[in-house]
A and B are shown apart, each in its own frame.
Chain A
């Protein structure tokens, strides 16, 4: 196939479109491919979670399609994230932490989690977060990127990013432009299709006609190429994820960003606080039946300390997914393919895994139908477990006497989540499947912190002597404490990364 030049056309704007365009050129090089972006007319902030969003550590992703982290941090003001502090979920006034990375260390054949259960049985008060380097570092405001050595305790601490999507989009747009990505002058106006339904070209309101072989729809929930969202081929998640409205805002901050996000439950939903350099992005996710926009804006005002809420865009939102995100020669990515309540997995993260998966399965000269089938199979599995993880936060809430939360606690669960719940409640184990988007540590922590006590303690764990166990736990914590002391403060680390980047830019300019 060397010599053939395939035309990729991306419809959309903002972070989804430009991150996709940049990833394509980075992965494919200039040879053999041309990439064109056609705007679909809406403002980036019109997309749900379009102002700021976070990513999580990837699980099973063959290719990281996002811009280099150091560049994202230094050039777009992003900040690192070690996890999520969740307050008011387990019970009003109670906060727990969802750390990225693993928990503790196993003891012979027994998982750390079973050891914790045994210690508790013996009356020792102990939380998983006390044995997670990510949680400990988050609490201490420290961060350091792991050096890649799988034997180092630092490798147990994983991370994501919090990013201002407009800035991240700009970073990707510059990279894509440098690599030869073309941009249409006009906005999408017409879609030309062949008899079999595949797309042949897009027309713009500036009179352009852009032909393509592969079309990627990044237009958001309107799904301008991939078809209408709710309707045929759309799996509606409203029976499981009870919120239907979001308000996003962004406020400037002077303090250095915390290396974790905060998810604070309120009577009608929850608010996400994403700290990044110079600002915090707020996303309120709530049920319009249980809260008014004014209620949410009052929470924002309380946080900001003024009556003015910058941004403050309100959107109705329908959580769900396209059953077939890749159909014919059109692939829906990001919030075009699925919109999820970001309490567990974020929408930006799903965009990232979607781009990575698409690049891994890009057909080239091969039969695209097969690659599409595999793409859709993997995506369906990933989204099923992502949705289950999100719902589990609601299902296990401890807010009694609030209509919204009482309803969420008694809502039905899909069979996949039902089995996971049953397994954990009985054995304290997580049933894991192919293409799970999270490691079992995230599930264990959530089950545990939101109050599920397994019926059976593992007999082997039960048989280990208390002193031996305490010593093991102390050892684990000591190793982590030692690593923690050597970690720089997140703020200092950010300054260092920024300074290095400036130095690098100056060197480049001198060349």
Chain B
């Protein structure tokens, strides 16, 4: 992603990009589900959607369904879109809380168009007409990360990136400044450069093994530290959403692609053995596995400095946040965006590094808090893992947010941080965090009028969703699927 983006965004002829990659080193193919920002990334690179989707076996994604999180048996969708419009001068969810307190049993999901569509397996592109329910959502993709890498590799090659097959065996630093000067490959080839981007994955070849920037561990808040991943064949209709089903000591993902389903079990080794985790995953597959399960060990957290000297860490070398909210690819995209914003010249003005690290740290911490919310906001007391998560200390920043929400449904805005109000609302409501009180200004709208508006909205959403094509039919209609 980095090579493709930089080859497109940096002025041609002034910056040369070389990419060292070893076929002997595997990549982690877990990041197959994305968030809507990926569309801006693809658009910047000029990808044709249907072509990109056909080549990466991609499907559309309207959100993530979470099963068994708040309680066993619960299911909710975190959608890519807002819950209703402001109503009576207050945010929609305030009116919904009010309606619930007045005895209505209407679910918040009825007022999210992407959820209504996702539940019916429907998809079409959003509409521009602000009066249409189809203007109220965004979407992302689920794709084969290996095929996406190949797609990007081809693009980067066409845009002048020089790919070098090989393995880095030595890193030479400047004796005074510590800046990286060159990489030596197994072949004996020596690569000199001014800026090095570390996409080496969890080990952090340059950012950690060479520059030793340190790592903030967040395992006490996000105790999962291992995962098994395994693909299987699709059975049943192609759903336009990812699924995350909570387990006894972690959760299982299900990502529907055109040609297969990606599955994985994320778990905590403190609460679950590897053998058990693997067995649970295989038992829940909807069809026989098409390859052996692949095991991954990680430490949740973030590199203390994601940019240090002339090395910028992008991807898993910069930190690891589990794929519960499909943030891995987004974090790569974000880092590329910030790198372009703060692109250094030969003088390496240190302010680039300082500001890059300030804003990326905020992004990481706010995603971290959002992930912790999923584990902490639970009533589950059926396993030691959930007892731990339910009762653990959480970061002050999250405790404060939750308190404001529980008391009066307030979701404070922030500047950096990818998850907006609607995302927080989806998880709060989906996991039974109900505000005690609502905005008193909600009552400026008469109660009878509110009830009428809500039921009209609900009907309109159902009608509009029923009129949409099925997900698979739509994929075929635009030439994204054979």
Chain A: residues with CB nearer than 8 A to chain B? 1-2, 6, 27-29, 31-33, 60, 62-63, 108-109, 359-367, 370-371, 374, 378, 422-423, 426-427, 429, 431-434, 436, 455-460, 462-464
- The residues in B between 411 and 453 inclusive whose CB is less than 8 angstroms from any CB of A are 412-415, 436-441, 443-444, 447
Q: Could you tell me the distance between the alpha carbons of A28 and B88 in the complex, rounded to whole angstroms?
A: 10
List of A residues within 8 angstroms of B131 by Cβ: none
Given contacts A6-B440, A364-B439, A464-B11, are A370 and B407 in contact (CB under 8 A)?
yes
Chain B: residues with CB nearer than 8 A to chain A? 9-11, 13-15, 44, 89, 91, 102, 340-345, 347, 349, 351-352, 355, 358, 403-404, 407-408, 410, 412-415, 436-441, 443-444, 447
Q: Which of A432, A456, A464 has the largest count of B CB atoms less than 10 A from its CB?
A: A456
Q: Which 7 A-B pairs have the closest CB atoms?
A: A463-B11, A364-B440, A29-B444, A366-B437, A366-B408, A426-B351, A463-B14
Given contacts A362-B439, A374-B412, are A367 and B89 in contact (CB under 8 A)?
no
Q: Could you tell me the distance between the alpha carbons of A374 and B409 in the complex, rounded to whole angstroms?
A: 13
Q: Which of B11, B407, B440 has the largest count of A CB atoms less than 10 A from its CB?
A: B440
| CB <8 Å contact, A365 and B89 | no
Q: Could you tell me the distance between the alpha carbons of A377 and B14 in the complex, rounded to whole angstroms?
A: 46
Q: Could you tell me the distance between the alpha carbons of A63 and B444 in the complex, rounded to whole angstroms?
A: 14
| CB <8 Å contact, A2 and B447 | yes
Cβ distance B435 to chain A, nearest Cβ, rounded Å = 8
User: What are 6 A-B residue pairs whose CB atoms fall within 8 Å in the complex?
Assistant: A1-B437, A456-B345, A456-B349, A458-B343, A459-B11, A459-B344
Q: Which of B15, B412, B414 has the largest count of A CB atoms less than 10 A from its CB?
A: B412
| CB <8 Å contact, A459 and B441 | no
| CB <8 Å contact, A456 and B437 | no
Select A28's contact among B102, B340, B344, B440, beta carbons within 8 Å: B440
| CB <8 Å contact, B344 and A374 | no
| Chain A interface, >50% SS class | loop
Select A426's contact among B10, B349, B407, beta carbons within 8 Å: B349
Cβ distance B308 to chain A, nearest Cβ, rounded Å = 18
User: 9 other contacts beyond A363-B440, A460-B340, with CB at 8 A cut-off?
Assistant: A2-B102, A28-B440, A29-B443, A109-B9, A361-B410, A460-B343, A462-B345, A463-B14, A464-B11
List of B residues within 8 angstroms of A456 by Cβ: 344-345, 347, 349, 352
Cβ distance A20 to chain B, nearest Cβ, rounded Å = 14
In the complex, the chain A residue whose C-beta lies closest to that of B436 is A366
Cβ distance B345 to chain A, nearest Cβ, rounded Å = 5
List of A residues within 8 angstroms of B403 by Cβ: 370
| CB <8 Å contact, A60 and B413 | yes
Cβ distance A436 to chain B, nearest Cβ, rounded Å = 7
List of A residues within 8 angstroms of B412 by Cβ: 374, 378
Given contacts A63-B89, A365-B437, A370-B407, are A459 and B14 in contact (CB under 8 A)?
yes
| CB <8 Å contact, A460 and B441 | no
Cβ distance A119 to chain B, nearest Cβ, rounded Å = 15
Cβ distance B86 to chain A, nearest Cβ, rounded Å = 9
Cβ distance A382 to chain B, nearest Cβ, rounded Å = 12
Q: Could you tell me the distance between the alpha carbons of A436 and B415 in the complex, rounded to whole angstroms?
A: 9
List of B residues within 8 angstroms of A374 by Cβ: 404, 410, 412
Cβ distance A428 to chain B, nearest Cβ, rounded Å = 10
In the complex, the chain B residue whose C-beta lies closest to that of A457 is B345
List of A residues within 8 angstroms of B343 by Cβ: 458-460
| CB <8 Å contact, B440 and A422 | no
Cβ distance B438 to chain A, nearest Cβ, rounded Å = 7
Q: Could you tell me the distance between the alpha carbons of A431 and B407 in the complex, rounded to whole angstroms?
A: 33
Q: Could you tell me the distance between the alpha carbons of A380 and B444 in the complex, rounded to whole angstroms?
A: 30
List of B residues within 8 angstroms of A429 by Cβ: 341-342, 355
In the complex, the chain A residue whose C-beta lies closest to that of B358 is A431
| CB <8 Å contact, B441 and A362 | yes
Cβ distance B249 to chain A, nearest Cβ, rounded Å = 34
Q: Could you tell me the distance between the alpha carbons of A62 and B89 in the complex, rounded to whole angstroms?
A: 9
| CB <8 Å contact, B437 and A363 | yes
List of B residues within 8 angstroms of A62 by Cβ: 91
| CB <8 Å contact, A31 and B443 | yes
| CB <8 Å contact, B355 and A423 | yes
In the complex, the chain A residue whose C-beta lies closest to that of B416 is A434
Select B408's contact among A2, A363, A463, beta carbons within 8 Å: A363
In the complex, the chain A residue whose C-beta lies closest to that of B348 is A456
Given contacts A109-B9, A464-B11, are A28 and B355 in contact (CB under 8 A)?
no
Q: Could you tell me the distance between the alpha carbons of A456 and B342 in the complex, rounded to whole angstroms?
A: 10
List of B residues within 8 angstroms of A1 by Cβ: 437, 440
List of B residues within 8 angstroms of A433 by Cβ: 415
Given contacts A109-B9, A423-B351, A460-B11, are A370 and B415 in contact (CB under 8 A)?
no
Q: Could you tell me the distance between the alpha carbons of A272 and B343 in the complex, rounded to whole angstroms?
A: 41
In the complex, the chain B residue whose C-beta lies closest to that of A464 is B11
Q: Which of A360, A366, A429 has the largest count of B CB atoms less than 10 A from its CB?
A: A366
List of A residues within 8 angstroms of B91 by Cβ: 62
Q: Could you tell me the distance between the alpha carbons of A455 and B349 in the complex, rounded to whole angstroms?
A: 9
Q: Could you tell me the distance between the alpha carbons of A431 and B340 in the complex, rounded to whole angstroms?
A: 16
Q: Could you tell me the distance between the alpha carbons of A361 and B412 in the complex, rounded to whole angstroms?
A: 10
Given contacts A1-B440, A427-B351, are A460 and B415 in contact (CB under 8 A)?
no
Q: Could you tell me the distance between the alpha carbons of A364 and B14 in the complex, rounded to whole angstroms?
A: 60
Given contacts A458-B343, A459-B345, are A359 and B355 in contact (CB under 8 A)?
no
Cβ distance A466 to chain B, nearest Cβ, rounded Å = 12
| CB <8 Å contact, B89 and A27 | yes
List of A residues within 8 angstroms of B447 by Cβ: 2
